Amino acid sequence: MNAHKICEGIHCLHADIKTAELFEGIWPIPQGVSLNAYLVRGEKTALIDLVRDWTGAPKQIEDALNSIGTSFSSIDYLVLNHLEPDHTGWLAEFREQNPGAEILSTQKGIGLVKTFYNIESGLRTVKDGDTLDLGGGKVLSFYETPNIHWPETMVTYEAESGTLFPCDAFGSFGALGGRVFDDEFDAGEHVFFEKECLRYYANIVSSFSVFVEKAIKKLEGLPVKCVAPSHGMVWRREPHTIISRYRKYAAYAKGPAEKEIAVIWGSMYGNTKRGLDAAIRGIEAEGDVPYTIRRVPDENISYILADAYRSAGILLAMPTYEYAMFPPMAYALDIFRRKHIFGKTALRIGSWGWIGGAKKEYDAAMESLKWNCLEAREWAGSPTEEDLKALEESGKELARAVKAL
Ligand code: FEO
């Protein structure tokens, strides 16, 4: 694995992770994810962010270092923008190979170095605006950007090249292959990475959108010519594309989002599905309101979350189950609450068997989510022709409400 040169003295060291293991133990990454570290060389050498020992990532980084004539043992400073173990899991092994390297992070970051890795010496706390002069014109500046998405997070900036190293911020799911720069991917590949970027944001960052907005505002004054995150591609041609994308995603948290509808449904014996088909006919009859459709529990919550986060409208179709909501839908709504999927316009529909009951639990969930709920449609058993007509009207009503936002 070779290092990728950003400019003289600055290289991206990149490891592609392809595994059936879940990211953070929750989120599937069928198309992989990249772990990026960065080397900045002046008279002294700094490594920015590390990796965990995951599908051979340390070896990939080591190979990249070797390809430009250096190694872990030659590093003078290790800058840790973020302590989550995907970027620090190999820290104890790094320390063993290089006991002399000084580790720099925020005060909270240094605290986590101690508690996660039991390292007590060779640590330096950096504060907002502090700098590290590597000599040879390379000066690193540090800016605290807390809560993206852990409390200790910061970004590092190299002024001569205008390179921003934001770690998780401006990141994406998706393995990169042998390329890392935005200008090395074609339009179709960018469409794929934009989807994976949204899913990454919705899964990992969405709860902290207010802090994303604060960080973007704080960094506005920096002349950023290259955004070099620790997941996903390095944006040297269009750094502002990824910054704008994150600004847009952060705004979704306040709602309304895109004029689209996320249809999320579950059905036990097809009665709710028949009602859903009618509601979808209603959405389609209104025209020009795109929708996505995902079934619970068949489809992973990671993708459902991304669709829901992006869409202004939500159609939830579920049967009553033992006097309450269909359990996989209750789980989805709980994840939405945890991930701050607020400000949606929602329609709930569904069939009940011997008695209803989804309403009570649903209404309680809506109190937390603060969604604008259209009148729900429920029916006993199989939907009648009258029910289907009413459901079609409800679908139209939802589409019109989304269009009017
Ligand atoms: Fe990529 Fe929050 O770690």
Average pLDDT, stretch 72-95?
A: 98
Distance 168 CA to ligand 1 centre (A): 5
pLDDT in tens, 54-77: 999 999 999 999 999 999 999 999
CATH, range 4-252: 3.60.15.10
Query: pLDDT at position 357, please?
Result: 80
Of ligand 1's atoms, which has the minimum distance to the CA of residue 35?
Answer: 1
Query: pLDDT at position 385, please?
Result: 98
What's the whole-number average pLDDT of the chain? 97
Q: Is the pLDDT of residue 358 over 90?
A: no
Distance 379 CA to ligand 1 centre (A): 45
Q: Who lines ligand 1 at CB under 6 A?
A: 82, 84, 86-87, 149, 168, 231
Of ligand 1's atoms, which has the minimum distance to the CA of residue 149?
Answer: 2
Distance 15 CA to ligand 1 centre (A): 14
Distance 170 CA to ligand 1 centre (A): 11
Of the given ranges (30-34, 227-231, 354-358), which has the lowest mean pLDDT? 354-358
Distance 27 CA to ligand 1 centre (A): 12
Distance 133 CA to ligand 1 centre (A): 26
Residue nearest to ligand 1 atom 2, measured at CA: 84
pLDDT in tens, 153-186: 999 999 999 999 999 999 999 999 999 999 999 9
137 pLDDT band, cuts 50/70/90, is: very high
What percentage of the chain exceeds 70 in pLDDT? 100
What are the structure tokens assigned to 359, written together? 């309403």
Considering only residues 254 and 285, tell me which one the structure prediction assigns the higher pLDDT.
285
Residue nearest to ligand 1 atom 3, measured at CA: 84
Of ligand 1's atoms, which has the minimum distance to the CA of residue 171?
Answer: 1
Domain 258-403: CATH class, spelled out: alpha beta
Closest CA to 9 of 45, 35, 61, 59: 45
Measured between alpha carbons, how far is 109 from 231 in angstroms, rounded to an integer? 19
Distance 20 CA to ligand 1 centre (A): 18
What percentage of the chain exceeds 90 in pLDDT? 97
pTM equals: 0.96
Give, in order, the Cα–Cα distances in Å from 28 to each of 31, 194, 299, 305: 9, 17, 11, 12
Given the DSSP bridges, would you call strands 102-105 and 123-125 parallel, antiparallel or unpaired? parallel
Closest CA to 110 of 129, 82, 72, 145: 82
Q: Is the pLDDT of residue 1 over 80?
A: no
CATH 3.40.50.360 domain extents, the chain: 258-403
Residues 6+ apart with CB under 8 A from 332: 264, 296, 301, 304, 308
* Amino acid symbol at 188: G
Residue nearest to ligand 1 atom 1, measured at CA: 168
Query: pLDDT at position 301, please?
Result: 98
372 pLDDT band, cuts 50/70/90, is: very high
Q: What's the number of CA atoms in the CB half-sphere (13 Å) around residue 97?
A: 13
Of ligand 1's atoms, which has the minimum distance to the CA of residue 85?
Answer: 3
356 pLDDT band, cuts 50/70/90, is: confident
Distance 173 CA to ligand 1 centre (A): 11
CATH 3.60.15.10 domain extents, the chain: 4-252
Give, in order, the Cα–Cα distances in Å from 294 to each of 58, 103, 301, 314: 37, 45, 9, 11
Measured between alpha carbons, how far is 270 from 256 in angstroms, rounded to an integer? 32
Measured between alpha carbons, how far is 21 from 33 in angstroms, rounded to an integer? 11
pLDDT in tens, 27-54: 999 999 999 999 999 999 999 999 999 9
Query: pLDDT at position 85, please?
Result: 98
Of ligand 1's atoms, which has the minimum distance to the CA of residue 153?
Answer: 2
* Amino acid symbol at 127: K
Report the sign of the C-alpha dihedral through residues 208, 210, 213, 218, in that order: negative
Q: Is the pLDDT of residue 247 over 80?
A: yes
